[in-house]
Amino acid sequence: MSKLIFALLLPLSLFGQPTKEEWRELFNGKNLDGWVVKIAGYDLGDNFGRTFRAEDGVIRVSYDQYPEFGVRFSHLFFKEKFSHYRLSLEYRFTGEQVKGGPSYARLNSGVMIHSQAPATILKDQDWPISVEAQFLSNDGDLKRPTMNVCTPGTEIFMRGEMVKAHCTNSTSKIYRGNGWVKVEVEVHGSDRVRHLIDGETVLQYEKPQIGGGVAHGFDPAIKIDGKLLSEGFIGLQSESHPVEFRNIRLLNLSGCMDPKNRRYKSYFVHRDDAQCAP
């Protein structure tokens, strides 16, 4: 069959529809515009000790102005919430853990997904109600995988069963040192979440929802146990070990799914007719 005849047999709705993935840069490489800091014990927006900094094209978590860590667990939230998306970024650990940081937090950070709105996090709340994709490195005798999942104030399911543990390991290889690690989180609303490294799935779970413990000091009106998490905010974590983030990009998987519409994308998985062009 000639290429011309084959083309004539294709539905007209397929012509001119862009299939190239349109990734969005969440970090401009220059400043923290579009992001907001929440540090436990401080008001929203108070970036104590310049914990989060935009320097040399990276978001840097630093503690050089801390006398000691205390309980200053911190998060840097992007200003918008998302439901269906792929988040891609790189991280690496640097320097030494700040004095007073908990032992488990050494070479430990992460990114929170489906988080409660930053404005609803109370001043002394330690962890946002959210799901964490955990970032780890190793030295000495440490042998921990990375891209694990932890659940402050939330619950998840795997293979139809609720997971009882607060943190569940991925199947990633063991990373050591301070090299950059490229990771990705694919979120399909309240249906499922995948953690990936270099395009390979290392963990998958379903039905993220509010519940469980670990988070403290929250507004009880926010913690509605059993409520499925279909959307939420993204937050980079500060947990007492210096860490850097770069190339923070997001591919929205929610949009117009009408193949005849010019805003249709073949990679969308969630229908949002409001995004269709008139």
Cβ atoms of 41 and 72 within 8 Å: the answer is yes
pLDDT of residue 18: 52
- Whether residue 238 is predicted with pLDDT greater than 50 in this model: the reply is yes
pLDDT by residue (tens digit) across 68-92? Answer: 999 999 999 999 999 999 999 999 9
Q: Kindly state the tokens that stand for 141.
A: 């005798």
- Region 267-278: mean pLDDT is 95
Please report which confidence band the pLDDT of residue 104 belongs to, taking 50, 70 and 90 as the band edges.
Answer: very high
pLDDT by residue (tens digit) across 167-201? Answer: 999 999 999 999 999 999 999 999 999 999 999 99
pLDDT of residue 46: 98
3-state secondary structure of 144: coil
What whole-number distance in Å separates Cα of residue 113 and Cα of residue 203?
15
- Whether residue 217 is predicted with pLDDT greater than 50 in this model: the reply is yes
**What's the longest Cα–Cα distance across the chain?**
74
- Region 33-46: mean pLDDT is 98
What whole-number distance in Å separates Cα of residue 31 and Cα of residue 215?
30
- Whether residue 3 is predicted with pLDDT greater than 70 in this model: the reply is no
Please report which confidence band the pLDDT of residue 19 belongs to, taking 50, 70 and 90 as the band edges.
Answer: confident
User: Residue 158, by phi and psi: left (phi above 0), alpha (psi -120 to 50) or beta?
Assistant: beta
Cβ atoms of 229 and 114 within 8 Å: the answer is yes
Higher pLDDT among residues 17 and 239, named by residue: 239
pLDDT by residue (tens digit) across 243-269? Answer: 999 999 999 999 999 999 999 999 999
Output the average pLDDT for the chain.
93
- From the list 133, 134, 155, 145, the residue with the least C-alpha distance to 215 is 155
Domains within the chain, CATH numbers bracketed: 32-275 (2.60.120.560)
Cβ atoms of 72 and 66 within 8 Å: the answer is yes
